[in-house]
Structure 1
Amino acid sequence: MSEEQADTGPVEAWLAEVAAKSRQPLHVVREVLAQHRVRPQMAAPRPHRLLVTSVAFDGFRPAADSVAGEKGGEPFTFSWDLGPGLWCLASLGKNEAGKSSVLEIVLWCLRGRSGLQRDVRHWLRTVRVGFELDGEPLLVDIAVRAGSPQGHVVSTQSGTVLVDFDGLADFEEAMDAFMLERLGLEPLRTAQAAPGGPSEPPITGELSWPSYASALHVSRSGLGILLGNDARHGLPTRLLELFLGAPWASTKVEAAVALKIVRAQLSAARSRAVGDAEARKAQLEELSRRLKQAQDRLAALDGAGGTAADVQQLYTELAASTRVAVTAQDAVLAVRSTHNELEAQRRDLAAAVHTAEEASLARAFFHTLMPTVCPRCDAAVDRARWEREREGHCSLCASDLHEAHSSADEDESGAQTADLRQMLVEVQQAVDGAAAELAQAQQQASQAEAVREGATGRLQEALGSPGLRERREMELVVARLEGAVEERSGRFADLDASVDLAPLEGAGAVLAAAEKLAMDRRTQVLKKVLGDVEKDIVVMGRALGLEMLKEVKLGGNASLTVWKGGQKHSYGSLTEGEQLRLKIVTTIALLRHGYRSGVGRYPGLLFIDSPGAEEVDAGDLQHMLRDLVTLTEMVPELQVIVATARGAEVREIVSADNMRLAAEGQRLW
């Protein structure tokens, strides 16, 4: 480790080691782990305590000859108050006394998942199981209708309803969420290989509280498995880590699941890249074959090559003549617009000249008139007024006639009229020029249209020639195939090398390093404690009748190797009686270590169903029960509930207060 890493914490040191082992930058390591929810967890978890305090239920058991669905039957009730220590449900040799059903009812209320036989569940009407979780008194209160539970979990200390449920699935989900949160547990991520092979994404899922709770129950159905009742998804290993509070264990599992997913994605990406390359190669070969066939067919069409070239030339001529005709027509429109504007100006100027000349003639005419009456009031103009005009004053308004008819005004009016006449002449000349341009443009447009029509006619005539259509179509086929071949031989040729697998490969390297390094840390911790657990297993195993037991090796994967009678055995090769005893003593040994160290997360509750049914004689069974009593005395919070048909042997060990014993030939309920 470098000096820089020496001062960092254990999580930072682990991240740095992952980066070094995977050869990825530290920021990439952090991003990959965050993306795949792989969290470094090294703190020892806080232990929790679970204690069953009471169980009560009632219902109706149908008569042996009753018809399915018939109402009524024999009523039954059961109630039992419990506490810490060893407790026992027993009968005197009768196997159908209801012992296992009591255990399953309690387990149903604790884990939410029912292991009851269907008929027994349908007999029930009410179920009430009290338990303490870290000292808080809780009650599961259920009304059962047609085998379906409806009820709630309530804190009897505060009266608060903590969980409501209605139905089998809802009950399991509700207890799952409640117990995981209260016990500080997390769902166990799982990944299974897909049926389609390594390139298919793995089937992922989660094991939750019912899977954890399998460690609470030792029964015949799970004897072949050292811890719990299910070996799938590495559950025994996780339970071992749960007993011992192993740090880094969840990190190792999260990294392993994520690595399976990434490896499947990488395998699929590589398969797709290979498949795509092969598909492109096959496509190129097929296109080349089709191109060769098309070229051969084109070559077989003799004598049509010149015609085809002429047609192409005719297409070119038609396109060129069409552009010229359009340009000529645009020129006609532009010249016509100019001509129309000038013609409008000419008409306006002609009108203005005419108006000016009319005004000049009107003034001259009116100045020669002698008025006889006033044009406003019809008053007669007498001779005296006429005489005044001789003096230079108007006979009507008395104004100075010399000023009104000054020569300057007449000159100005005449000059304006002359200017208008000159402008009219100039505009007329422009109009004539525009008309000439228009005529020329129209002639050019007509000529261009004639050329275009000629090109159209020649093309239509050429297209009507025999064999040309077939060759033209074949030429197009060849051109398209040549383009496709060139495309796949050109820019598509580098696709195989351009498939970017680097991100997935980098993520896989990070996750593989994270799993390995977390596993190393987890294993180092377990090695320190497994030796003590192995010694306890040997001592208690000999006390339970395995006199030939010499040594055991408890693996970090929850495997057990046994040396007895001078031979080495695996746990799975032992007899059922030997498996039962070793499973019990292994569970007890792990419990003892957890309580000694104060880090085990196992909640301190154990159910043992029928421990005397598997080749265990009376003396060995009593030894086992005494050891359980000793263990519960050593750990006051521990509770063990045993169900057995060997009541005669058990009642010598377990006090009457801690035991429910069915009378001979009778049921517990």
Structure 2
Amino acid sequence: MSDDIEDVEDDAAGPVEAWLEEVAARSGQPADVVREVLTEHGVRAHTALPRPHRLQVTEVEFEGTRPVPDGDEKADPAGVPFRFHWKPGPGVWCLASTGKNEAGKSSVLEIVLWCLRGRSGLQRDVRSWLHRVRTQFLLDDESLVVEMTVTDGVPAGTVASQQTGVVLVSFDGVKAFEESMDAFMMERLGLEPLRTQQKPRGEVEALPVTGELSWPSYASGLHINRKGLGQLLGNESKNALPTRLLELFLGAPWASTMVSAAVAQKVVAAQLSAARQRATADAEARRAQLGELSRKLDTERARLDALPGQQQAVGDLTAAYRALADATQEAADAQRELAAARSRHDLLEEQRYSLASALQAAQEAVLAKAFFHTLMPTVCPRCDTKVSKEQWAKEQEGQCSLCTSHLPASAHQAGVADHEDEGVDPESLRQELAGVQQAVEEAASGLGASQRRAIHSAEAFTQAETALNSALRDPGIAERRAAELAVARLEGAVSERKGRFAALDAAVDITPLEQANDVLKAAEKTAHARRTAALKEVLKAIQKDIVTMGRALGLEMLQRVELGTGATLDVWKGGQKHSYGSVTEGEQLRLKIVTTTALLRHGIRSGVGRHPGLLIIDSPGAEEVDSTDLQLMVQDLVKLTDMAPELQVIIATARGQDVASIIPTGQLRLAPAGERLW
């Protein structure tokens, strides 16, 4: 949205606050909820609209090649080249022929409209003839030029500023051109998309289909032709478009707010209805499911109660379960005991083996030392020097003949002394080994007992398991057990749905939707009241203009009209009331032109009308309009442009002789008799 809106809203803080207070009072919702809902749904208070913008075509140029007419053997088979160039300005301008309908007048208008709105209304064959198109127009004070090449009917080109040469839009393709011009013109003219909604076909509970009508729809208010006679304003029958165009012509305050709120409210109302239906359906489904579960529970309980005496069988089954549990526990205990006994036996066996090895090593060491100490050395083992008699004599004194160290008294004593010095006592090892050997024998005995217990407990477990399986295969037991399980499951399901699941009936919180629906409904009604009050004041004057101009255009029996705020027109003529849609096409054409003219006149006079000031009328004399009426119609348009010099009206007619004297000099492009304009 343009900055103009923001400025208006800031300046209109008083009316906006008053409106918000009224919305809060009407909806019964707090002010903070009102603001939150309106913000969430994009509904803003538009007490007035931005300043009007002006649009004027200043130059039209196109060229191409037209196919050779059948039977023209002299023409170039490649086709007949053509070029058209025209420079209209403000006021009434006319493209005309004399008695020839296929002179290319409507095609010129459609080319202009194609360049302005991005959407082509040209016939396929004519569009395929084009090679290059250039249209220049003024948007306020800026001169813009649309220039494109056309290949097989597909456009590619740019929109540029004539003053600066800056390219503002580039496009390549039919869809790209329409989308580019849509965004460009909406922003430049300060327009908002027209929000719409309609009910989907066939689906009662479905959300309404929402959409937007943008620049091509707005632009239909610039064009009056035969195809659009069914609509009082514009040429499209899309939802709410005539009403929005009426508001556009008159610059109606609060109109945008009213439409935004109305569209949002219908969407929210549909969501609310769907939420309520879902909540009701879910609650009913849960109640139905609870009822079905309760019925099944009663059936299973009755089946269980009806089973014949099974007390003894049930007792046997319980005993079998208990015996299996005891056997299982006994087997587990026996296995743990066996594992402990095996671990103790293995540990003692390992200790016995270690002591036996140590004792053997100690005994071998004693014997070795005793042997070596009895030997008499003759030479030194290091250097082979012979041991002298003197050295041998020292051994008698208790010294070693080689190193003079002290020798024990005897080899046996030396072995014992050395062993004691090392702290290893073979006798102690012998005694310790005997104690460990006894412990190993005791552990082996305990291990055997544990193994026998484990084997016995395993056999008891197998017997208990076999007994239980045998009991379970009893038909009576199996049936009772199945019934008991079914009852238990059903009791749990019923308990859940009566307890935790019961809260689901209130779990769908539709309060936010109800609040939003109330706020949006109040916003739409209050904005509608303000918008309608503003429009009714101006529509009275416009109705008088419609009657005056209508009589001047040949509607001699026209008594009065009533122009509704929804762009409806009721007509009183010949003492009878008629709707716009029920009168003849010739009368529709006159009424549409005079209504559009009256709205333009008021908008220009008041300075608030937002119609851009360009009106294109195709064939105003085609529908039961005699020469005098056509001349009066064109004269009135000329008077309108005299009153508003910035207004531009472009007319195409095949009755050039009727309007030639009325169109200002230099503003009529008349094709020679029987020939085309291009």
Report TM bin, short chain.
Answer: 0.7 to 0.9
Residue in 1 that maps onto 2:344: 338
Out of 437, 449, 454, which is 1:445 matched to? Answer: 454
CA contact 1:199–1:266 (8 Å) conserved in 2: no
Q: Does 1:560 align with 2:569?
A: yes
Tell me the CA shift for residue 467 of structure 1: 6.4
Out of 240, 247, 272, which is 2:246 matched to? Answer: 240
Q: Which of 632-641 and 330-339 deviates more? A: 330-339
Output the amino acid matched with 1:461. Answer: S
Residue in 2 that maps onto 1:3: none
Output the amino acid matched with 2:185. Answer: M
CA contact 2:352–2:433 (8 Å) conserved in 1: yes
Q: Over the residues paired in the alignment, what is the CA RMSD in angstroms?
A: 3.6
CA contact 1:45–1:600 (8 Å) conserved in 2: no
Residue in 2 that maps onto 1:608: 617
Output the amino acid matched with 1:54. Answer: E
CA contact 2:362–2:424 (8 Å) conserved in 1: no
Q: Distance in 1 between matches of 2:12 and 2:541?
A: 33
Tell me the CA shift for residue 647 of structure 1: 2.3
Q: Distance in 2 between matches of 1:30 and 1:66?
A: 72
Report the 3-state secondary structure (helix = DSSP H, G, I; strand = E; otherwise coil) of the residue aligned with 1:82.
coil
Tell me the CA shift for residue 321 of structure 1: 2.2
Q: How does 1:311-390 map to 2 (within 5 A)?
A: 311=317, 313-364=319-370, 366-390=372-396
Q: Distance in 2 between matches of 1:642 and 1:655?
A: 13
Residue in 2 that maps onto 1:660: 669
Out of 100, 110, 113, which is 2:119 matched to? Answer: 113
Residue in 2 that maps onto 1:514: 523
CA contact 1:252–1:518 (8 Å) conserved in 2: yes
CA contact 2:225–2:617 (8 Å) conserved in 1: yes
Report the 3-state secondary structure (helix = DSSP H, G, I; strand = E; otherwise coil) of the residue aligned with 1:629.
helix
Aligned residues: 662
Residue in 2 that maps onto 1:211: 217
Residue in 1 that maps onto 2:52: 47
Q: How does 1:187-586 map to 2 (within 5 A)?
A: 187-290=193-296, 302=308, 306-307=312-313, 310-311=316-317, 313-364=319-370, 366-401=372-407, 413=422, 424=433, 427=436, 431=440, 434-465=443-474, 473=482, 476-477=485-486, 479-546=488-555, 549=558, 551-564=560-573, 568-586=577-595
Report the 3-state secondary structure (helix = DSSP H, G, I; strand = E; otherwise coil) of the residue aligned with 1:122.
helix
Q: Which of 81-90 and 333-342 deviates more? A: 333-342
Q: Which of 220-229 and 521-530 deviates more? A: 521-530
Q: Which runs of 5+ in 1 are unaligned?
A: 1-5
Residue identity over aligned pairs, in percent, reads: 62
Residue in 2 that maps onto 1:174: 180
Q: Distance in 2 between matches of 1:209 and 1:668?
A: 29
Out of 66, 81, 93, which is 1:87 matched to? Answer: 93
Tell me the CA shift for residue 612 of structure 1: 2.5
Q: C-alpha deviations, 1:132-177, integer Å up to 9, x for none?
A: 2223223333433433334333333333443333333333223222
Tell me the CA shift for residue 638 of structure 1: 0.7
Output the amino acid matched with 1:84. Answer: P
Q: Distance in 1 between matches of 2:611 and 2:426?
A: 122
Out of 149, 155, 161, which is 2:155 matched to? Answer: 149
Q: Does 1:164 align with 2:173?
A: no
Tell me the CA shift for residue 110 of structure 1: 1.5
Q: Distance in 2 between matches of 1:554 and 1:10?
A: 27
Tell me the CA shift for residue 213 of structure 1: 0.6
Q: Which of 511-520 and 447-456 deviates more? A: 511-520
Tell me the CA shift for residue 243 of structure 1: 1.8
Residue in 1 that maps onto 2:8: none
Output the amino acid matched with 1:96. Answer: E
Tell me the CA shift for residue 658 of structure 1: 0.6
Residue in 2 that maps onto 1:591: 600
Q: How does 1:130-149 map to 2 (within 5 A)?
A: 130-149=136-155
Output the amino acid matched with 2:670. Answer: L
Residue in 2 that maps onto 1:104: 110
Residues 89/414 of structure 1: CA separation in 2 closer, same or farther (3 Å cut):
closer
Q: Distance in 2 between matches of 1:354 and 1:12?
A: 112
Residues 362/274 of structure 1: CA separation in 2 closer, same or farther (3 Å cut):
same
Q: Distance in 1 between matches of 2:424 and 2:154?
A: 119
Tell me the CA shift for residue 623 of structure 1: 2.7
Residues 632/414 of structure 1: CA separation in 2 closer, same or farther (3 Å cut):
closer
Q: Which of 41-50 and 354-363 deviates more? A: 354-363
Q: Distance in 1 between matches of 2:674 and 2:617?
A: 22
Residues 637/429 of structure 1: CA separation in 2 closer, same or farther (3 Å cut):
farther
Residues 557/331 of structure 1: CA separation in 2 closer, same or farther (3 Å cut):
farther
TM-score, normalization: structure 2? 0.86
Q: Distance in 1 between matches of 2:251 and 2:432?
A: 113
Residues 313/503 of structure 1: CA separation in 2 closer, same or farther (3 Å cut):
farther
Tell me the CA shift for residue 454 of structure 1: 0.8
Q: Does 1:186 align with 2:192?
A: yes
Tell me the CA shift for residue 549 of structure 1: 4.6
Q: Distance in 2 between matches of 1:144 and 1:317?
A: 97
Q: Distance in 1 between matches of 2:102 and 2:415?
A: 149
Report the 3-state secondary structure (helix = DSSP H, G, I; strand = E; otherwise coil) of the residue aligned with 1:97.
coil
Residue in 1 that maps onto 2:3: none
CA contact 1:308–1:472 (8 Å) conserved in 2: no
Residue in 2 that maps onto 1:626: 635
Residues 656/624 of structure 1: CA separation in 2 closer, same or farther (3 Å cut):
same
Q: Which of 36-45 and 644-653 deviates more? A: 36-45
Q: Distance in 1 between matches of 2:655 and 2:388?
A: 166
CA contact 1:61–1:76 (8 Å) conserved in 2: no
Output the amino acid matched with 1:449. Answer: A
Output the amino acid matched with 1:57. Answer: F
Q: Distance in 1 between matches of 2:340 and 2:628?
A: 124
Residue in 1 that maps onto 2:6: none
CA contact 2:370–2:415 (8 Å) conserved in 1: no
Report the 3-state secondary structure (helix = DSSP H, G, I; strand = E; otherwise coil) of the residue aligned with 1:205.
strand
Output the amino acid matched with 1:159. Answer: G
Residues 468/10 of structure 1: CA separation in 2 closer, same or farther (3 Å cut):
same
Q: Distance in 1 between matches of 2:457 and 2:38?
A: 76
Q: C-alpha deviations, 1:211-230, integer Å up to 9, x for none?
A: 10110011222223221122
Report the 3-state secondary structure (helix = DSSP H, G, I; strand = E; otherwise coil) of the residue aligned with 2:160.
strand
Q: Distance in 1 between matches of 2:405 and 2:643?
A: 147
TM-score, normalization: structure 1? 0.87
Residues 578/325 of structure 1: CA separation in 2 closer, same or farther (3 Å cut):
same
CA contact 1:325–1:445 (8 Å) conserved in 2: yes
Residues 172/309 of structure 1: CA separation in 2 closer, same or farther (3 Å cut):
farther
Q: Distance in 2 between matches of 1:8 and 1:614?
A: 50
Residue in 2 that maps onto 1:36: 41
Output the amino acid matched with 1:533. Answer: I
Q: C-alpha deviations, 1:297-327, integer Å up to 9, x for none?
A: 6667656675466446534533442243133
Q: Distance in 2 between matches of 1:605 and 1:332?
A: 107
Report the 3-state secondary structure (helix = DSSP H, G, I; strand = E; otherwise coil) of the residue aligned with 1:154.
strand
Tell me the CA shift for residue 49 of structure 1: 1.4
Q: C-alpha deviations, 1:153-206, integer Å up to 9, x for none?
A: 333333344333333333322322222222222322222112244421222222
